[in-house]
Structure 1
Amino acid sequence: MSQAETFTPASTNAGQLCIWTDTESHSEADFNAWYDREHMQERVAIPGFRFARRFLANDGGARRYLALYVTASLDVFHSDAYRQAFTVQTDWSMRNFARMSNTQRRVSEQRFEAGAGEGGHAAIFVVPPQAMQSVASAHWREAAHAAALTPGVHAVRVFVTDAALSSPLATPGATASAARQDALVIVEGSSNDAAREAASKLATLADIEPNADTIRSFDMLWRLSA
């Protein structure tokens, strides 16, 4: 598939690439310049990519940087154009990949959405495999719809990880967590406190203890559309 071709998804569910990571403090300026001036532009130029966003943690926790790339469907990650971009990286990319730590890479499919739009703040939590049934239940989804109507909250989305597509970053010696068949819940809003509170309630309903390790919150740095 060439860059000039349009991408026609086989599925109507959006796909998402999530990169959640840290970088070395002494090279942080270069890391941000690389993301902002090269990497996001490269990715949104791939057929099927819709937009990309970057976030910075506001809760003082480790793994401070979050990048979310939304695609037309999960099929985009099987395309020749994406495989080419993933396997042939620039020198600038390779230098920054080598500096990244505690990295989690998830390729996933959106399975649920309540509300609409995006927010300047996002609260997230990971749903482990043993809790996946909980977030698929009617009771949990009713609570998510109610949460999306809370003042300061705009949307709740669930992205289910495709473990086979979520291999580590393409760099020798990269530190990456092994991919699991888990899910990522993203609560977005105009209020950081409201998004965190909604995420905490939804985590509790999924039998996930809400604490500083399980509920993380971020401020959006910027957004780039295809």
Structure 2
Amino acid sequence: MGAIGRGILFSEMTPPEALEHTFNDWYDTEHIPVRMGAPGFRSAQRYRDGTTRNYLAVYEMDGPEALKTPEYGVIKNSPSDLTRDILGAVSGFTRYVGRTIAEAGPGGDVLLDAPVLYAVFFAVPEDRCAAFDAWYDQDHVPLLLSDPRWLGVRRFDVVDGAPEKYNRLALHYLSDRGVMESDARRRARETPWRAALAAEPWFKGHYVIFDRLGARQMAKAA
């Protein structure tokens, strides 16, 4: 079984400064490993915002259904004392569950090794999703990928999430942060197609960028 799945869990947390070391140790040695034993989980990668203490974990799953198994229910509803204490102390918590709707770039697990992850969220009206998806896949992504440092893009239908009601998430896999200032990105943001969509009142993206942190953890062998 490969590392990449057809669904993801995107979860951010910001620990208090005094608990940061404990938080990181707990995440690497308890929080992720326990989930890697649940059916439907394939792998997990941690990231950190380079300018803050905001941490991200992206879990690769067979699909969102992995979060509805009895095994995951036990994990979710029977936390250890340490887990309960840390989750009670963190801030900036987000939790978004996505199902893959499009991929561009190299196939397979190689994309997941990118050093930088750029996440883009949108809340798109249901009657505009088709137009938004067409623009992203046919206009926006091809221009971004014209720079080889823009390694690939995966897009998701957000089927559940908090605290915001986003329904579209794009994960952009980058070789370095410098590509954010590239001509390719500038061109991708200046097309007539994008300008037409950007004139609509709902077109307000939420953008976050992270650096990969540590090694990818894989699901436990059955």
Q: TM-score, normalised by structure 1?
A: 0.77
Please state how far the C-alpha of 1:69 moved relative to its aligned partner: 0.2
Q: Secondary structure at the match of 2:148?
A: coil
Give the conservation status (yes or no) of the 8 Å contact 1:17–1:107: yes
Give the conservation status (yes or no) of the 8 Å contact 1:187–1:199: no
Within 1, Cα distance between the matches of 2:187 and 2:77?
A: 40
Q: Secondary structure at the match of 1:194?
A: helix
Within 2, Cα distance between the matches of 1:178 and 1:126?
A: 12
1:160 paired to 2:157: yes
Deviation per CA, 1:156-197: give whole Å up to 9, x if none.
Answer: 11122112xx4xxxxxxxxxx435252221111212221575
The 5-angstrom pairing of residues 193-212 of structure 1 reads 193-194=178-179, 205=194, 207=198, 208=203
Find 2:142's aligned residue among 134, 142, 145.
Answer: 145
Match of 1:192? 177
Residues 203 and 46 (structure 1), Cα distance of their counterparts in 2 relative to 1, 3 Å cut: farther
The 5-angstrom pairing of residues 30-49 of structure 1 reads 30-49=22-41
Structure showing greater Rg:
2
Q: Going by fraction, where is helix more abundant, 1 or 2?
A: 2
- Which segments of 5 or more consecutive residues in structure 1 lack a partner in the other structure? 1-5, 7-12, 167-176
Residue identity opposite 1:22 in structure 2: T
1:71 paired to 2:61: yes
Residues 56 and 49 (structure 1), Cα distance of their counterparts in 2 relative to 1, 3 Å cut: same
Within 2, Cα distance between the matches of 1:186 and 1:160?
A: 12
Q: Secondary structure at the match of 1:162?
A: strand
- Which segments of 5 or more consecutive residues in structure 2 lack a partner in the other structure? none
Residue identity opposite 2:172 in structure 1: V
Find 1:114's aligned residue among 96, 101, 104.
Answer: 104
Residue identity opposite 2:117 in structure 1: A
Please state how far the C-alpha of 1:91 moved relative to its aligned partner: 1.1
Please state how far the C-alpha of 1:145 moved relative to its aligned partner: 3.4
Match of 2:133? 136
Match of 1:9? none
Residues 154 and 195 (structure 1), Cα distance of their counterparts in 2 relative to 1, 3 Å cut: farther
Deviation per CA, 1:66-94: give whole Å up to 9, x if none.
Answer: 11001011221221111221111111111
Residues 200 and 112 (structure 1), Cα distance of their counterparts in 2 relative to 1, 3 Å cut: farther
Find 1:82's aligned residue among 69, 72, 76.
Answer: 72
Please state how far the C-alpha of 1:209 moved relative to its aligned partner: 5.8
Find 1:22's aligned residue among 6, 14, 37.
Answer: 14
Q: Secondary structure at the match of 1:45?
A: coil
Residue identity opposite 2:175 in structure 1: S
Within 1, Cα distance between the matches of 2:153 and 2:87?
A: 30
Please state how far the C-alpha of 1:201 moved relative to its aligned partner: 6.8
Within 2, Cα distance between the matches of 1:134 and 1:101?
A: 35
Within 1, Cα distance between the matches of 2:32 and 2:66?
A: 16
Please state how far the C-alpha of 1:47 moved relative to its aligned partner: 1.2
Deviation per CA, 1:46-67: give whole Å up to 9, x if none.
Answer: 1111100000012x35x71111
Please state how far the C-alpha of 1:147 moved relative to its aligned partner: 2.0
| Identity across matched positions, percent | 21
